[in-house]
Amino acid sequence: MKKLIMIALLAFTAPVFAQSTATVKKEAIKIYNPQANARADIDAAIAKAKKEGKHVFIQVGGNWCGWCIAFHNMVDHSPELKALLNDNYEVVLVNYSPENKNEAVLASLNYPQRFGFPVFLILNGNGKLLHTQNSAYLETDDLDPKTGKKKTGHDVKVVSDFLKGWTVKALDPASYKQTKAK
């Protein structure tokens, strides 16, 4: 009788246990919105950037892209990068996924997806494309101490230097120091 009760108990609790462990499963990160109107988001960022004397920083990628998520997390956990972006740029995330490849928008930006993902674009306050950055040049050279393999991610200093080089102030010729030739 005890065996019968144990079998019945297991039969009824196993599905409940399986359901509860399934809900513990980590939820996928969603930083890109496939339903977003990328053209409207970019246009709004351009208008705001012009008004505030900033540039527009566009990050093209998708929720499927580990490198895109790694970049987002690095910025999120780096107060210096977060401040650099917020102080100098209006930021727009443009989705590229099977649900929405934003083909017309990316065509208008000279097909930046040709560099892979994420790919970064800098626009001025008039919407002119100033620069397209292949993110591979911003990757870290750090090695994972456990595996000895290159870590997935970008270098904070290299990204910081990149962002500083494309601010409104950095591109303003009046900010360059005049040196006299001897």
Beta bridge partners of 119: 60, 134
So what's the pLDDT on residue 176?
78
| Mean local confidence (pLDDT), 76-80 | 96
Could you tell me what percent of the chain has a pLDDT over 70?
Answer: 82
Question: Does the pLDDT at position 21 exceed 80?
Answer: no
Decide which of 155 and 26 is more confident: 155
- Helix axes of 79-88 and 66-76: crossing angle, nearest 10 degrees: 90
Let me know if 60 is exposed, middle or buried by CB neighbors in 10 A (0-12, 13-18, 19+): buried
- Name 54's Cβ contacts closer than 8 Å, sequence gap at least 6: 48, 88, 89, 90, 125, 168
Beta bridge partners of 133: 120
Q: How many CA atoms lie within 13 A of 146 on its CB side?
A: 1
Decide which of 175 and 157 is more confident: 157
Q: What is the pLDDT of residues 104-131, one digit of tens each?
A: 999 999 999 999 999 999 999 999 999 9
Could you tell me what percent of the chain has a pLDDT over 90?
Answer: 71
Measured distance CA(15)–CA(3) in Å, rounded? 19
Quote the tokens at residue 102: 């934003």
Beta bridge partners of 59: 93, 120
So what's the pLDDT on residue 27?
63
CA dihedral sign, ordered 119, 120, 123, 129? negative
> What pTM was computed for the model?
0.81
All structural domains of the chain: 38-173 (3.40.30.10)
| Mean local confidence (pLDDT), 37-47 | 98
So what's the pLDDT on residue 178?
66
Measured distance CA(134)–CA(129) in Å, rounded? 14
| Mean local confidence (pLDDT), 93-103 | 97
